Amino acid sequence: MRFITLLIISLLLVIVFGCEDKTQLLFNQPAHFPNLLIPENNPLTQKKVDLGERLFGDKNLSIDSTIMCSSCHKAHLALADSLSISPGVYGRLGERNSPSLINAAYAPLINRDGGVAKLDIQALIPIEDHNEMGISILKLSKRLIQDQSYVDAFGEAFGRGPDGFTIPRALASYVRSLVDASTPYDKYLGGQKDSLSPAAQRGLHLFNSEELACSSCHSGPLLTSFEFENNGLYTDYADRGRALISLREDDVGKFRIPSLRNVALTAPYMHDGSLATLDDVIAHYASGGQSHKNKSHLLKGFSLSADQHLDLLAFLEALTSERDFTKS
Amino acid sequence: MTKYILFLTVVMVFFSCGDEEVTQVERLDFSYEFTIDGQPITLGETYTLNGSTVMFEVANYYIHGMRLANDEAGVIIANEASHLLAGVDQEASAMITDLSPTSVSKARIIIGVDEKLNAQSETDFTERAADDPLGLKDPAMHWNWNSGYKFIRFDGEVDTDGDGIVDTPIAYHIGSNPFSKTLELDTDITLDSGTNALNFSFDLNQFFSTVDFQLEVNWDTHTGNNLELAQLLLANLDNAISLSK
């Protein structure tokens, strides 16, 4: 009798939990990248990545079913956008430029102001933001439950349906799959010195030079220190940046230093997309930026010859991934 | 005779509790109201506040760190870890107690969410059950863009052109750890045996006493974007909340 009871319980457990794919995705982390931390309550699996990718391209994630994540994070632009401010539902505009999601999983704090503590809840921002997708996560959960194919896919990935826990974690899993080190610069770091053109190598030298000091902030293999700095873009900031979170006046105008990977694909630039081209960006830093009490002390201005300007551009263009993100 | 007394004693020991007479304060039920000119408001209805026609669609705030005390016994109930979500449309929250009937002359509450829980670094709002006051709510009390909770949330609309139609959105979302506020309330409550119904009343006249709804600068604060207004409203909390039976 006891054996039969145990058998029945075991069968029930298999029925209830057997559908969840708990297989860990074998993560192919670039050797020169820092260790990517995966949360214990959201192990990375292929089924979650696939589900996240499907959600990423689904307009039903917006209140009026017009906007999907990929509307503002376009695969051919390294998952950024070519507009200063991407329109959201009903044509509404927010305040910030859409950032690239390549290697975004490494950020210790999420968002340009670092307001979000972890990637696993980041997707709530665009989904719920009035100016972006404009739907509460609870309403979205109810919407997705109406689609049996989603119910099945969530069941296989998480062992439960679409809800406020699983939807952002599926999207976070997809973002974690967007780790990339396929640039000519990575090959150069790996020892293939000829992967950078002579011009790009001269540009790298300028990039690391004390005078330009680019690598003071855009440091390490991810080309960002993930710190928050005021780069002298304005004398008066409409968007207070990090200060919105910290409530500190000495954080006004500070934004997270972005990675420069794929920077040639992610124009326009700055937190508000106010600089149209890399030429504009170089000109901004060469000028030393606007005066502001919080401006980074590293911004002192510099001068480049026309050739040096082209060399620096050549290096920045060598930060473009060779991986085609339009293909899964 | 001795045997008879012994028998009666044993019977009393075994059956004395059998009639289940309630002698202890077993439960406190908390309900919430928001008032204008002393009258409870209804969401979606228009009212005159500071000379402006206003309408509220959301009126919520978090309470935790509750201590109830009287002069004789000091703190009689300390339920500091629990969070209550107070709101017009929120169901009354219950607190289980086990103390003799007594009085409450002082109440200490903290408006906001415990700092550790507000960080979302361990358990976040998406991991909590639907009936958890700190779980996901609609309208949301979590702040998706800064990870914490809105300690106080008022949303609505105001008439700014005098046509009697409320069509300018107003939003007062106050949060972040420095905006947690401890309130010491004077009360005159007698807790009887059994269940006691207590009511938190939020005086909107007091809370918005320094707000001119006709000025654009007063139409919204999400705390960090309009610190001055958030600080003014926080200061107005001092006499805005009362607890009664």
pLDDT for position B43: 97
Rounded to the nearest 10°, the torsion over CA B162, B163, B169, B171 is 40
CB contact under 8 A, A240 and B127: no
- The amino acid present at A175, given as its one-letter code, is V
Residue-wise pLDDT tens digits, A96-140: 999 999 999 999 999 999 999 999 999 999 999 999 999 999 999
Mutation target to probe the B interface, by most B beta carbons within 10 A, among A63, A109, A240, A244 is A244
CB contact under 8 A, B147 and A116: yes
Q: How far is the C-alpha of B67 from the C-alpha of B82, rounded, in Å?
A: 11
pLDDT for position A29: 86
pLDDT for position B88: 86
Report helix angle A46-56 to A148-158, nearest 10. Answer: 150
How many Å lie between the alpha carbon of A324 and the closest alpha carbon of chain B? Answer: 30
**Residue entry with tokens 């001269």:** A202
Q: What is the mean pLDDT of residues A213-227?
A: 97
pLDDT at residue B38 greater than cutoff 90: yes
How many Cβ contacts (< 8 angstroms) between chains A and B?
A: 68
Q: How far is the C-alpha of B144 from the C-alpha of B137, rounded, in Å?
A: 12
Mutation target to probe the A interface, by most A beta carbons within 10 A, among B144, B151, B177, B223 is B144
Average pLDDT, chain A: 93
Is B28 among the domain residues?
yes
Cis link prior to A87 (omega < 30° from 0)?
no
Is B2 among the domain residues?
no
| A141: its two tokens | 């959960």
CB contact under 8 A, B227 and A118: no
For residue A125, the chain B residues in CB contact (below 8 A) are 144-145
Q: Kindly report the backbone phi and psi dihedral angles of residue A200, in degrees, each rounded to the nearest multiple of 5, phi listed first.
A: -65, -35
- SS3 readout for chain B: CHHHHHHHHHHHHHHCCCCCCCCCEEEEEEEEEEEECCEECCCCCEEEECCEEEEEEEEEEEEEEEEEEECCCEEEEEEEEEEEEEECCCCCEEEEEEECCEEEEEEEEEECCCHHHHCCCCCCHHHCCCCCCCCCCCCCCECCCCCCEEEEEEEEEECCCCCCCCCEEEEEEEECHHHCEEEEEEEEEEECCEEEEEEEEEEHHHHCCCCCCCCHHHCEECCCCCHHHHHHHHHHHHHCEEEEC
Q: How far is the C-alpha of B12 from the C-alpha of B9, rounded, in Å?
A: 5
For residue A137, the chain B residues in CB contact (below 8 A) are 126, 136
pLDDT at residue A267 greater than cutoff 90: yes
Q: What is the enclosing helix (H) or strand (E) of A256?
A: strand A255-256
CB contact under 8 A, A121 and B227: no
pLDDT for position B20: 60
CB contact under 8 A, A117 and B126: no
pLDDT grade for B17, boundaries at 50, 70 and 90: very low
Question: Does the structural domain A37-176 have CATH classification 1.10.760.10?
Answer: yes
Taking the Cβ of residue A125 and every Cβ of chain B, the question of whether any pair is shorter than 8 Å is answered with yes
pLDDT grade for B79, boundaries at 50, 70 and 90: confident
Least confident of A12-16, B147-151, B211-215: A12-16
CB contact under 8 A, A117 and B147: yes
Is B16 among the domain residues?
no
For residue B138, the chain A residues in CB contact (below 8 A) are 136, 138-139
Is B6 among the domain residues?
no
For residue B125, the chain A residues in CB contact (below 8 A) are 121, 164
**Residue entry with tokens 């003071």:** A216
Chain B residue with the nearest C-alpha to that of A112? B145
For residue B225, the chain A residues in CB contact (below 8 A) are 240, 244
Instruction: Provide the CB-side half-sphere exposure for A170 (13 A, CA).
Output: 31
Is B4 among the domain residues?
no
pLDDT grade for B98, boundaries at 50, 70 and 90: confident
For residue B155, the chain A residues in CB contact (below 8 A) are none
Inter-residue contact B24 to B192 (CB < 8 Å): no
pLDDT for position B13: 47
Q: How far is the C-alpha of B130 from the C-alpha of A68, rounded, in Å?
A: 27
CB contact under 8 A, A240 and B176: no
Q: How far is the C-alpha of B118 from the C-alpha of B133, rounded, in Å?
A: 13
Residue B78 belongs to what domain range? 23-244
**Residue entry with tokens 């509790």:** B17
Taking the Cβ of residue A244 and every Cβ of chain B, the question of whether any pair is shorter than 8 Å is answered with yes
Mutation target to probe the B interface, by most B beta carbons within 10 A, among A121, A158, A167, A240 is A121
CB contact under 8 A, A244 and B121: no
Q: How many domains, chain B?
A: 1
CA A65 from chain centre, in angstroms, equals 23
- The amino acid present at B80, given as its one-letter code, is E
Whether A184-317 and A37-176 are alike in CATH topology: the answer is: yes
pLDDT for position A269: 98
Residues contacting residue B143 through CB under 8 Å, at least 6 positions apart: B149, B150, B173, B175
Q: What is the enclosing helix (H) or strand (E) of A255?
A: strand A255-256
CB contact under 8 A, B119 and A164: no
Q: How far is the C-alpha of A170 from the C-alpha of A167, rounded, in Å?
A: 5
| A193: its two tokens | 């010195």
User: What does DSSP assign to residue A25?
Assistant: P
Strands B150-158 and B52-70: antiparallel
Residue-wise pLDDT tens digits, A53-75: 999 999 999 999 999 999 999 99
Domain boundaries, chain A: 37-176, 184-317
Strands B25-36 and B194-203: parallel
pLDDT for position B11: 47
pLDDT grade for A296, boundaries at 50, 70 and 90: very high
CB contact under 8 A, B146 and A115: yes
pLDDT at residue B201 greater than cutoff 50: yes
Would you tell me how many other CB atoms lie within 10 Å of the CB of residue B142? 26
For residue B147, the chain A residues in CB contact (below 8 A) are 115-118, 121
User: Which among A41, A136, A240 is the nearest to B140, CB-wise?
Assistant: A136
User: What pTM value is reported for the model?
Assistant: 0.89
CB contact under 8 A, A165 and B127: yes
Q: How far is the C-alpha of A109 from the C-alpha of A116, rounded, in Å?
A: 6
Provide the ipTM.
Answer: 0.85
Inter-residue contact A175 to A110 (CB < 8 Å): no
pLDDT grade for A143, boundaries at 50, 70 and 90: very high
pLDDT for position A15: 44
How many Å lie between the alpha carbon of B49 and the closest alpha carbon of chain A? Answer: 27
Is B37 among the domain residues?
yes
Taking the Cβ of residue A181 and every Cβ of chain B, the question of whether any pair is shorter than 8 Å is answered with no
Question: Does the structural domain A184-317 have CATH classification 1.10.3720.10?
Answer: no
**Residue entry with tokens 């139409």:** B219
pLDDT at residue B132 greater than cutoff 70: yes
How many Å lie between the alpha carbon of B137 and the closest alpha carbon of chain A? Answer: 8
CB contact under 8 A, B145 and A118: no
Please, where are the H alpha helices in A177-239?
Answer: 184-189, 198-208, 214-217
pLDDT for position A85: 97
For residue A120, the chain B residues in CB contact (below 8 A) are 124, 126
Q: What is the enclosing helix (H) or strand (E) of A138?
A: helix A137-145
CB contact under 8 A, B136 and A138: yes
Beta bridge partners of B102: B191
Q: How far is the C-alpha of A59 from the C-alpha of A133, rounded, in Å?
A: 9
Would you tell me how many other CB atoms lie within 10 Å of the CB of residue B61? 26
